Structure 1
Amino acid sequence: PVVTDPVVEPTYKVSGTFCSCGPTSQTNSSINRDTENLDYLDGVLVRISWADMNPQAGIYDWSYLDEQIGYAEQRNTKIALAILNGPYAPTWLAEEGATMFEYTLRGNVVSLPLPWDTVYLSYYQAFIEELGARYSGNEFIDLVHITNSTTNGFEMQYTFNSAQITDFETAGYTEELLINSWTTIIDAYATAFPNKPVDVEVHPVFFSDKIATDVVDHGLALYGKRFGVLAAWWSEHNAKNVYTSMFTILKNVQKESFAGVQLVGAVSTGLNPLTEEQLAAALQLAIDNGFYYMEIWNNDLANTQLSDLITNNDNLIEAQTAVQ
C-alpha cells in the first residue's frame, strides 16, 4: 500500500493587542497619531463603510483602504479589516431594487438593506470578490472581520424595539433566511481571502442563539482553523451574566481555531465606561480562556495610567502564543 503523510491543516495565530480606533472616513483615520508610539500595540482595527468604497454600482474607490495600508506599512503594524455594512451600505442599493428597512440608530433615522434580499446579496458578494482580488495577498492585513447588514453594520445583533421587530418579521424575517444570508457572506469572504483568517462577531438575535450557533458551525465545518469568532461585547460581567451562551461559543471555537474579544467599553471615555478593575478583569478572563486577540479602545491605549496594565497583558499574550 502507498503510505502518504496526513494533511496538516495550517494554524492561524490570531493574537495581539489591537486598537479599536474610530472608523476611517474623509475626516478620520483609524490608524492615528494617538497610538503610533505604543510599544505594546500590534495592530489596528480599520473600519471603512461599504458606501465609501463602493460609491456607485460597479464602481469601487480603494483610496481609504490604500491610505490605511500605507500608514500600516510606515509603522510596521497589522490591520484587522472590517467593512461597515447595514446603515453604512450604499444608498444606491434601493435604486437597484434592494428592499430597505428603516429604523433608529443613536437617535437618527437610518435604513439597512434586508439581509436576505437577493439584490443586496448579489451586490455585496460582487464587492467582496473585488475587495479580495485587490487585497487578499496584502501582508499587512492580518484578519478580516465578516460583516452583514445588521443594526450597526459590524455586530451580529439587531437592537430593535418591539414594534420594529414586528415590522422586521412582516418584512419577511425568519431565522432560516438570516442564517442563509450569513453563510452566503461567510463563503464569499472565505473565498475572496483564501489565505487569511476570517471571523464573525457573535450575539444573540432576538434572544435566540440559533443564528450564531448555526453560522459558526457552518464556518468551522468549511474553513476550519482559519475561521474564528469575535465578542464585541467583552467584559467579565457580560461574559458571566449577560451573554453566557455566546461565551460558551467562544470557548468551544477557541478549542478548534481562535476567538477574539473587543472591549465593550473604555475606562477613559465612551458609552459603556469601565473601571480600571473591570478592564483588568476583562483582559484576565480573556487570557484565562485562550482568547489572545484583543481590541482595546484607543482612549485606553493612549492613557498612560493604564500603560502598565496593558503592557503586562500584552506580554502575557506573547508568552502564551509563543508556547503554542
Structure 2
Amino acid sequence: MKTPLLTAALLAAVLALTGCGPGGAQDTPPAWSQDPVLVGAGDIATTGKGDSATAALLDEIGGTVFTLGDNAYDSGTAKQFAKLYGPTWGRHKSRTRPVPGNHDYRTAGAAAYYDYFGAAAGPPGLGYYSFDLGTWHIVSLNSNVDMTPGSKQERWLRADLAASGRRCTLAYWHHPLFTSGANHAPDTATLPLYQALYDSGAEVVVAGHNHQYERFAPMDPAGNLDQARGLRTFVVGTGGGGLYQFGTIQPNSEVRDNTTFGVIAFTLHADGYEWRFVPQRGKTFTDSGTGACH
C-alpha cells in the first residue's frame, strides 16, 4: 500500500486538474492545515471499477477513514468482504471506522460485517459507537436497528452527546433523512437521531444509501433552513456502487452530482470544518466549503 501523502497536496492537485466546481468550490484551495482529516463514502465494494477508483483516492489521503454502509455487495457475506472490499478499501482497514448498511444486513445480523471489522465496528449487534478526533466528537450510528425515541440507541446517543464535552460534533450513518435520490426516499425513521444531534448543537450529518452526491444547507429536524443551529447534511453514496438518478429535488438541496465516484474529506479545526468532495481521477466534479461550530 502506498504511504498516504499530505491531504493538502492532494487537494491542491485535484483543484489544479479540475478547476473550480459548483456550489461553493473555489479557484484556489482553502488553507488546509495539519488538523485531523476524516475521509470516506458509502455504498462501496462491487465487481465494478468504482470501488477501485475510490480506494486509489484513499491511498493518497491521510487521516481517519469512515464508511457509510453497504460496504460489500450484494449481501455483505464473508466472501464478499474478502474478495471485493478487502483488495480495495480493505487496504485501509486499520484506520477505518465503519457503519453498516442494509446490504450488510442481508447476512443475518450483519455477522460478516462485524467479523471483518472487529472492535472498530462497535459492539456486535449494536453497531453504534463514538470516538474523538482532535477537538471533535464523532458519532457512528446504525440506521438498521431501532432508532425510535426511547430506544436503546436513541438513549445511548443522547447520553453520549451530553457526556462529550466537545464543542464540535459530526455524525454518520447509512440511511439519509434528507435526500433527493430517486431510488430511496428520505428515511424518516432516522429523525430521532437527527433530533438528538440538533438538540445537542451538532454540526454535520453524513449518510449514503442513495448512490450519488448531494449537499444540503443547514436544517432543523423538520427540514427548515436554519443557519443558526441547523445541521449540514451530506449524502455521499459514491464509494463504488452503480450511480443512481435524482428524483424530486428536496428543499435546501444546494449541490448534486450523480456522474462521479469519489470521497468526501473533512478537515476538522478547533472551531469549524472544511469539506471537499474529491472525485475519481479523470472526473471534474468537486464541491468544497467551510462551516463553523455552533
TM bracket (short chain): 0.3 to 0.5
TM-score (norm 2): 0.42
TM-score (norm 1): 0.39
Higher fraction of helix: 1
